[in-house]
Structure 1
Amino acid sequence: MNRPLLVAALLAASTTAIHVFVGTPEIAAPLLRSAIAPEVKLVLYACWHVVSCVLALSAGALFFAAHPARTVALRPLVTFVSWIWLASALVFVLVALLQSGPKLPMLLALPQWSVLGLTGALALWAARRAVPDTDRA
């Protein structure tokens, strides 16, 4: 197994579980009970679960690519998934900083950037260190 990629996959799967089972009741449920327009609520709720799908599918892709026989062939997929996670981390950092100014508490209040960034960076590193086995040729 490509151990760094396996760790990234485990982080991605854990993030997915936390998003779905902790985040949905904590973030999405209050949103659904809010007084905003029903159309807006449903669009935001759909976006919440689009993120759930992206997290779950990317975790699955990282698990699949962690097998040593597939890592090199799936390097472009792992690189793509990595950049999605890194871009998502950047979104959280920018939202925290642009909406509250350079205040550390808001970065701590939105800690998602840390696990998104760590997972993306670890998967990207794992993809870049995977080299073709030229001894078999």
Structure 2
Amino acid sequence: MNGWLLAAGITAFGVSAVHIVAGHRDVVRPLLACGIADEPKGVLHAVWHMVTVDLVLSAAALVYLALADGTPGTGLVAWFVAAHFFAYAAAFLSVSLSVDWPKPLLRLPQWLLLLPVALLTAAGAA
């Protein structure tokens, strides 16, 4: 068993739970209540659900990879998942740093949740 990938998977399940609970409260509800047109609102709502599915499936894949350590292709898939979480963290960091808000890195703190999964996965893939 690969302890790094197991830690990454458990952390990713935690990130998924935070996304589902806090994201629904802080993002989805205000989005659905806002005055933008129905079509973009529907697309954004669907994208939020797509990210939910992506986070949960990635977490499950990491746990599977942890248990299947040594199976051919495990390292390649782990690197893909690590790159995936690094890209998510980079997207939030880029958006956070591009706005003129006080304390921008804490205003959109999702990168703080995504980066540990990326780092743990990379450690397990190495």
Question: Normalising by the residue count of structure 2, what TM-score does the alignment of the two structures yield?
Answer: 0.93
Residue 13 of structure 1 and its aligned partner are, at CA, apart by 0.2
- Give the whole-Å Cα distance in 2 for the aligned partners of 1:41 and 1:30: 11
The answer on whether the counterparts of 1:71 and 1:127 sit within 8 Å (CA) in structure 2 is no
**Kindly, what percent of the aligned residue pairs are identical?**
36
Larger Rg: 1
Structure 1 unpaired stretches of 5+:
129-137
Q: CA deviation at 1:2?
A: 1.3
- Counterpart AA for 2:42: L
* Cα displacement (A) at 1:54: 0.7
Which one-letter code corresponds to 1:100 in the other structure? D
**Structure 1 residue ranges (4+ consecutive) displaced by more than 4 angstroms after TM superposition:** none
Alpha-carbon distance in 1 for matches of 2:69, 2:88: 23
Number of the residue aligned with 1:51: 51
CA contact 1:5–1:62 (8 Å) conserved in 2: yes
Q: Deviations over 1:89-132 (max 9, x none)?
A: 0000000011227x5x110111111221111111011111xxxx
User: How big is the alpha-carbon RMSD for the aligned residues of Structure 1 and Structure 2?
Assistant: 1.2
Instruction: Give the counterpart letter for 1:19 in structure 2.
Output: H
Normalised by the size of structure 1, how large is the TM-score? 0.86
Matched, 1:8 2:11: no
Deviation string for 1:50-73 (max 9, x for gaps)? 100110110000000111xx2232
Partner of 1:111: 109
**Within 1, Cα distance between the matches of 2:52 and 2:22?**
12
Equivalent pair of 1:93/1:107 in contact (CA under 8 Å): yes
Equivalence for 2:26: 26
1:22 positional shift:
2.0
Amino acid of the residue matched to residue 33 of structure 1? A
Pairing of 1:1-137 with structure 2 (within 5 A): 1-67=1-67, 70-72=68-70, 73=72, 74-100=74-100, 105-128=103-126
Aligned residues between the structures: 124
> What secondary structure, in the 3-state scheme, does the structure 2 residue paired with 1:66 have?
helix
- AA aligned to 1:107 is L
